[in-house]
């Protein structure tokens, strides 16, 4: 409005005979000037009021990061900057991805729809074309007046995000990709690394928007600790090889059905692993190679932590720590030798569980004073290594599909309604639910009837080279998994890849792990439970989540009578 009025004024005065109409022009000028000043004042007051009420969002997403972090009670891993964020945040200890692989998980949590609704189980389709024109999390913030910015790997690249990271739907400006990423698998002629460039770009963007009247939604997707572990070598010094141990359960469990196992082809196909001439599909990796893989993964976590620290310090530096919501999470986990596996691609906790840390100033911690530093950078090489003690843990089950409605709630955006089934024709809805109430009512945090759901596809009951990541047309079986605070229960059922629908009555295999006695999920007691009646019951259930709930409701009666579960 300001620019328009000035422009009109200049145009009009230029077209007048100045000698004759000077006094008239001056009157007009005065009127316009006063109108301008008045409008600017009104606008400014409005903007100040609106700005002070609207929180920015900084969404930090690591790639393939399981919660091997100090703030998740890991004794070995050094993550001082993420721990510092956790110390002023709510830390969700039972947060799970909906499918343990990049593309499907990211599209799922960025649209708040489960894989059976995005119809993306591989990397080969774009949901807007293949499933439905679903509104994304950043798109919703953009529609509500936010400047939305993407740095690094937020959407999975390629066709899964239309070769554009879903720009312009989701983002106000074209997403940033670090130039060094194309050298990820070769030498580094640019003398830098993608996550170093990501952090620098994120800091630059924060500086550019710090005084803006428009709130921002900045998503930063790190490339690590995803393989290859190309990181600055000094981080390895934090983890002397003699301090590294094997996974607590490095062998393939005896009662694990074949369909539940994944042969970790991406590690197997590395040149150095090929040279080991391992047998397919189980052939264990030599112990020293296992230790070095774990060492490199942990070092990659510390490297990501340092980049998180640089970005969070910028929030302090630019005065944004008191009006920015921060989320730190990952797309899924990674098996570091547990069950004899080295990858994601499964329904186990090591593959599906993710870190989820949410900071809202004034809610998860007191508002910082203007001069107070909330996120001073901690140099991991100088860190005293004091154990993490603060922070607020939330044990209740939450899912990554919950993040979208929760962030809307925390930012004060209009509520997103729950999706009906099916919801292919509905652009905006959520298959998750907001967990924002947990920030205000901590006593509600543990609910044994609350579940998290994940799923994983397979091409066959047998273990094949494409068992890790089958293309949609090759999927024949889907493993639907339900996780409560007490157990993980998975059924592998027939699946139609054309309709993207399971046949819940055609069960190929099942898994049941009772976590109190079996926290690493190695002792499958599925066959020991009486299941035939449960399977008859589920035929009446149209939705797989309802089916699984029926399974466990039925089973839990038996468990309670046998005192496997408390009543
Ligand atoms: Ca990933």
Q: Enumerate residues with CB within 5 Å of ligand 1 (an ion).
A: 63-64, 102, 331
**Listed range (29-33, 231-235, 449-453) with the worst mean pLDDT:** 29-33
Averaged over 238-267, what is the pLDDT? 96
Tell me what pLDDT residue 527 has.
Answer: 82
Tell me what pLDDT residue 446 has.
Answer: 61
pLDDT tier at 53, thresholds 50, 70, 90: confident
pTM: 0.87
Structure tokens at 116: 């059976």
**For residues 298-307, b (16+ Cβ closer than 10 Å) or e, as one string?**
bbbbbbbbbb
Claim to verify: residue 12 and residue 114 sit in the same structural domain? no
Q: How far apart are CA 477 and CA 456, in angstroms?
A: 9
Claim to verify: residue 264 and residue 333 sit in the same structural domain? yes
- From the candidates 71, 102, 419, 500, which is the catalytic residue? 102
Claim to verify: residue 438 and residue 462 sit in the same structural domain? no
Domain count, the chain: 3
Q: Is residue 344 domain-resident? A: yes
Claim to verify: residue 384 and residue 263 sit in the same structural domain? yes
Residue in 532, 534, 530 with CA at minimum distance from that of residue 551: 534
- On the 0-12 / 13-18 / 19+ scale of CB atoms within 10 A, 546 is middle
Q: How far is the CA of 14 from the centre of ligand 1 (A)?
A: 61
Tell me what pLDDT residue 6 has.
Answer: 31
pLDDT at 514 over 60: yes
Q: Is residue 224 domain-resident? A: yes
Which of 411, 444, 477 corresponds to the end of one domain? 444
Claim to verify: residue 31 and residue 123 sit in the same structural domain? no
CATH of the domain at 96: 3.40.720.10
Q: How far is the CA of 224 from the centre of ligand 1 (A)?
A: 9
Tell me what pLDDT residue 559 has.
Answer: 61
Q: Is residue 414 domain-resident? A: yes
Averaged over 57-84, what is the pLDDT? 97
Instruction: Tell me the pLDDT of the chain averaged across its residues.
Output: 87
pLDDT tier at 564, thresholds 50, 70, 90: low
pLDDT in tens, 122-157: 999 999 999 999 999 999 999 999 999 999 999 999
Which of 428, 444, 460 corresponds to the end of one domain? 444
Tell me what pLDDT residue 387 has.
Answer: 67
Tell me what pLDDT residue 18 has.
Answer: 32
Q: Is residue 17 domain-resident? A: yes
Which of 414, 444, 474 corresponds to the end of one domain? 444
**Listed range (8-22, 263-277, 369-383) with the worst mean pLDDT:** 8-22
Q: How far is the CA of 422 from the centre of ligand 1 (A)?
A: 27
Tell me what pLDDT residue 14 has.
Answer: 33
Tell me what pLDDT residue 530 has.
Answer: 58
Q: How far is the CA of 226 from the centre of ligand 1 (A)?
A: 7
Claim to verify: residue 371 and residue 432 sit in the same structural domain? yes
pLDDT in tens, 241-254: 999 999 999 999 99
Q: Is residue 566 domain-resident? A: no
pLDDT in tens, 280-299: 999 889 999 999 999 999 99
Percent of the chain with pLDDT over 70: 82
Tell me what pLDDT residue 490 has.
Answer: 92
Q: How far apart are CA 475 and CA 494, in angstroms?
A: 9
| N-terminal to C-terminal alpha carbon distance within the chain | 65
Q: Which neighbouring-strand residues pair with 407? A: none
Q: Is residue 210 domain-resident? A: yes
Claim to verify: residue 234 and residue 288 sit in the same structural domain? yes
Q: How far apart are CA 120 and CA 62, in angstroms?
A: 20
Between vectors from CA 297 to CA 155 and to CA 62, what angle results, nearest 5°?
25
For 14, what's the count of Cα atoms within 13 Å in the CB-facing half-sphere? Answer: 6
Q: How far is the CA of 508 from the centre of ligand 1 (A)?
A: 27
**For residues 171-205, b (16+ Cβ closer than 10 Å) or e, as one string?**
bbeebbbbebbebeeeeeeeeebbbbbbbbbbbeb
Is 296 noted as a catalytic residue in this protein? no
Q: How far is the CA of 318 from the centre of ligand 1 (A)?
A: 31
Cβ contacts of 554 within 8 Å, gap of 6 or more: 533, 534, 537
Claim to verify: residue 26 and residue 90 sit in the same structural domain? no
pLDDT tier at 556, thresholds 50, 70, 90: low
Is 419 noted as a catalytic residue in this protein? no
Question: Residue 434 belongs to what domain range?
Answer: 55-444
Q: How far is the CA of 107 from the centre of ligand 1 (A)?
A: 12
Claim to verify: residue 408 and residue 482 sit in the same structural domain? no
Residue in 458, 482, 420, 388 with CA at minimum distance from that of residue 77: 388
Q: How far is the CA of 101 from the centre of ligand 1 (A)?
A: 6
- Contact status, residue 248 vs residue 309, Cβ threshold 8 Å: no
Q: Is residue 124 domain-resident? A: yes
pLDDT in tens, 397-427: 999 999 999 999 999 999 999 999 889 999 9
Claim to verify: residue 112 and residue 187 sit in the same structural domain? yes
Q: How far is the CA of 401 from the centre of ligand 1 (A)?
A: 16
Claim to verify: residue 243 and residue 332 sit in the same structural domain? yes
The residue assigned the tokens 């003398």 is 191
Claim to verify: residue 392 and residue 425 sit in the same structural domain? yes
- From the candidates 2, 71, 130, 156, which is the catalytic residue? 156
Strands 216-221 and 56-62: parallel
Task: Please tell me which of 62-66, 500-504, 539-543 the model is most confident about, judged by mean pLDDT.
Answer: 62-66
Q: How far is the CA of 108 from the centre of ligand 1 (A)?
A: 13
pLDDT at 541 over 90: no
Cβ contacts of 106 within 8 Å, gap of 6 or more: 61, 154, 155, 156, 160, 331
Q: Is residue 567 domain-resident? A: no
Q: Which neighbouring-strand residues pair with 218? A: 58, 149
Averaged over 182-200, what is the pLDDT? 83
């Amino acid at each position: 409005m300001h620019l328009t009025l000035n422009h009109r004024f200049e145009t009009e005065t230029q077209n007048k005979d100045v000698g004759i109409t000077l006094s008239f022009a001056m009157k007009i000028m005065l009127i316009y000037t006063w109108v301008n000043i008045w409008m600017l004042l009104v606008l400014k007051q409005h903007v100040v009021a609106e700005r002070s009420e609207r929180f920015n969002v900084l969404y930090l997403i690591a790639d393939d990061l399981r919660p091997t972090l100090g703030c998740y009670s890991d004794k070995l891993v050094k993550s001082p900057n993420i721990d510092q964020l956790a110390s002023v945040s709510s830390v969700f200890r039972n947060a799970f991805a909906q499918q343990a692989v990049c593309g499907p998980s990211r599209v799922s949590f960025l649209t708040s729809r489960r894989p059976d609704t995005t119809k993306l189980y591989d990397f080969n389709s774009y949901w807007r074309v293949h499933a439905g024109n679903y509104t994304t999390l950043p798109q919703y913030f953009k529609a509500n007046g936010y400047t939305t910015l993407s740095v690094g790997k937020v959407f999975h690249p390629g066709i899964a995000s239309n070769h554009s990271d879903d720009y312009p739907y989701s983002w106000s400006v074209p997403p940033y990709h670090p130039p060094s990423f194309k050298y990820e698998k070769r030498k580094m002629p640019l003398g830098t690394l993608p996550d170093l460039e990501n952090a620098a770009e994120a800091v630059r963007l924060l500086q550019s928007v710090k005084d803006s009247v428009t709130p921002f939604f900045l998503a930063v997707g790190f490339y690590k600790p995803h393989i290859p572990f190309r990181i600055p070598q000094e981080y390895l010094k934090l983890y002397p090889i003699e301090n590294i141990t094997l996974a607590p359960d490095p062998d393939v469990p005896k009662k694990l059905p074949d369909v539940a196992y994944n042969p970790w082809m991406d590690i197997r196909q590395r040149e150095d692993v090929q040279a080991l001439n391992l047998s397919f599909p189980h052939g264990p990796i030599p112990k020293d190679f296992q230790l070095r893989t774990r060492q490199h993964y942990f070092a990659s976590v510390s490297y990501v932590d340092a980049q998180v620290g640089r970005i969070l310090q910028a929030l302090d530096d630019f005065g944004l720590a008191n009006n920015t919501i921060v989320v730190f999470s990952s797309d899924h986990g990674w098996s570091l030798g547990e069950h004899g596996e080295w990858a994601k691609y499964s329904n186990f906790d090591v593959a599906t569980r993710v870190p989820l840390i949410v900071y809202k100033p004034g809610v998860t911690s007191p508002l910082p004073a203007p001069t107070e530093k909330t996120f001073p950078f901690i140099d991991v090489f100088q860190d005293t290594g004091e154990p993490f003690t603060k922070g607020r843990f939330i044990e209740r089950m939450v899912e990554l599909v919950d993040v979208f409605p929760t962030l809307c709630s925390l930012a004060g955006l209009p509520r997103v309604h729950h999706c009906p089934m099916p919801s292919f024709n509905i652009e905006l809805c959520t298959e998750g639910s907001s967990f924002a109430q947990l920030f205000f009512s901590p006593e509600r945090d543990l609910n044994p009837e609350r579940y998290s759901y994940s799923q994983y596809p397979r091409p066959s009951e047998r273990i094949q080279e494409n068992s890790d990541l089958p293309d949609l047309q090759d999927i024949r079986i889907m493993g639907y998994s339900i996780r409560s605070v007490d157990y993980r229960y998975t059924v592998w059922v027939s699946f139609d890849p054309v309709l993207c629908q399971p046949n819940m009555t055609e069960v190929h295999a099942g898994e049941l792990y009772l976590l109190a006695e079996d926290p690493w999920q190695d002792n499958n007691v599925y066959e020991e439970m009486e299941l035939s009646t449960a399977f008859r019951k589920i035929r009446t259930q149209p939705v797989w989540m309802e089916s699984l709930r029926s399974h466990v409701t039925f089973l839990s009666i038996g468990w309670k009578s046998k005192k496997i579960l408390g009543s």
